[in-house]
Amino acid sequence: MMAGSIRLRRPPNVWELRIFIGRDDNGKVRHRYSTFVGAKRDAERELARQLLLIDQLAAPVAARGDWKKETTFNEAIEAWKNNGWADLSPKTQLSYNDLWTRYIHNDLGTRPIASTGIYEVEQYLRRLADGGLGDSGIRQVRAILHRACRLAGKWSNGAIPNPVSGAERPKAQGRDPVRAPSVDEVRQILKALSDHGDLRLHAFCRLAIATGMRRGEIAALRLNDIDFATGELRIDESVVIGAGGVTVKAPKTSVSIRRLFIDQGSLDLLTDLRNEAFEIAHRCELDLADDGFLFSFDPGGVTPPYPDVFTKQFTSFRKRYGVAADIHLHSFRHFAATFLDGVVSERQKQARMGWSTTHMSRHYTDAISQEDKRAAKAIGEVLS
């Protein structure tokens, strides 16, 4: 039986019932609260009834084989977690679990799926938007609900409908889109980064600006991914964050695996960072392996860095040096894509950025290499 307690919330007969329901994936204690009006003895009976009910439902729906019209959204999601959730990437698992805990579990999650209509789902999504959840968050919440209901319908042999399928999500208001900074803003940022004196952050941001690489791709760069003689990079891995920490994996799509050139200024910074890494490893009496992570905070370069660390560092840097609040690390990818518009062909720009719409461009290796060198040279001249 789960633990529970009552306390007087408002005299004379309003009681708060609290039931311990476990811990989330981050170890945070979770409780379920409800209010009861009546005598203390009746409140104790109600608490005992709720404890018994929750205890009976503790086993996943899929394990009980108890698919019926009373199945809730939470039960469907729990069943998905036990049968298929592991197929998601670690980062997606962490994100979905956080959204479920924060926005679904104690709200729509408690309702039976079969007795919830499209109108009620749309009302719920609009409440999230009115509460300040961004468009991306609402889209993911809807995706979680839609997938859970679709699976519940399949596992129940069609007994459970999918009210999320026809529900439209509202457009979140008050969120500014990511914008591409101007050339002058980028130059000022690079000057401030140089004055700031953090070589790792400087090199990370310079590479994001010069190449448009995703932060997970930069974090996954190994020493042997870089030809320090020619300035050519190999991008074939990305760092993602999951519940158990960071994981290095192949990019989401095969077209994100690519080679590109960097300008001399960016290469000089990476060379300085490599030399610093060798010096730190030597002082710690460690060997820096050829496949060590260049941006690692580990003296031996064995452990990849958390991409979030660079996001937080850049945010602190931005506030300290008065950089516009709507410029983020991801803004640098937008800058690179915007700048390349007038420098190289659309095909080459998409290939350099690793977009999934240019699979055929990989068949034009020689032409792409020459264009990519021109792209690297042009952006290097602008950043100098």
- pLDDT tens-digit readout, 39-78: 888 888 888 877 766 655 554 454 445 677 789 999 999 9
Which of residues 254 and 223 earns the better pLDDT score?
223
Taking CA atoms, 294 is separated from 184, 201, 259, 270, 369, in Å, by 29, 12, 17, 8, 24
Confidence of residue 1 (pLDDT cuts 50, 70, 90): very low
Rounded to 5 degrees, φ, ψ at 381 are -65, -35
Asked if the model's pLDDT at residue 280 lies above 70, the reply is: yes
Q: Tell me, what's the pLDDT at 66?
A: 63
Q: 73-82 and 135-155 helices cross at what angle (nearest 10)?
A: 80
Q: Tell me, what's the pLDDT at 359?
A: 44
Q: Tell me, what's the pLDDT at 364?
A: 34
Helix (H) or strand (E) holding 219: helix 215-219
Alpha carbon 85 to its chain centroid, in Å, reads: 16
Which of residues 30 and 244 earns the better pLDDT score?
30
Asked if the model's pLDDT at residue 21 lies above 90, the reply is: no
Of 211, 200, 266, nearest in space to 235 by CA: 211
What mean pLDDT comes out for the span 188-205?
96
Average per-residue pLDDT in the chain?
A: 84
Note the maximum CA span of the chain.
83
> What share of the chain has pLDDT > 70, as a percent?
87
Q: What are the tens digits of pLDDT across the range 150-169? A: 999 988 888 889 999 989 98
Distance from C-alpha of 365 to C-alpha of 234, rounded to nearest angstrom: 14
Distance from C-alpha of 206 to C-alpha of 294, rounded to nearest angstrom: 14
Q: What is the DSSP string of 93-118?
A: HHHHHHHIIIIITTTGGGSBSTT--H
Distance from C-alpha of 77 to C-alpha of 79, rounded to nearest angstrom: 5
Distance from C-alpha of 309 to C-alpha of 277, rounded to nearest angstrom: 18
Q: Tell me, what's the pLDDT at 357?
A: 62
At residue 50, the 3 state secondary structure works out as helix
Q: What are the tens digits of pLDDT across the range 237-253? A: 998 876 667 788 887 67
Q: Tell me, what's the pLDDT at 233?
A: 94
Of 332, 328, 296, nearest in space to 313 by CA: 328
Q: Tell me, what's the pLDDT at 20?
A: 76
Q: Which two tokens stand for residue 250?
A: 């192949």
Contact predicate 193/206, CB 8 Å: yes
Confidence of residue 272 (pLDDT cuts 50, 70, 90): very high
Q: Tell me, what's the pLDDT at 361?
A: 40
Q: Tell me, what's the pLDDT at 332?
A: 94
Q: What are the tens digits of pLDDT across the range 296-347? A: 998 989 989 989 899 999 999 999 999 998 899 999 999 998 888 878 887 7
Q: Tell me, what's the pLDDT at 243?
A: 60
Confidence of residue 369 (pLDDT cuts 50, 70, 90): low
**Alpha-helical regions (H) of 284-363:** 307-321, 329-339, 346-353
Which of residues 362 and 54 earns the better pLDDT score?
54
Q: Tell me, what's the pLDDT at 27?
A: 67
The alpha carbon torsion through 247, 219, 199, 291 (nearest 10 deg) reads 80
> What share of the chain has pLDDT > 90, as a percent?
45
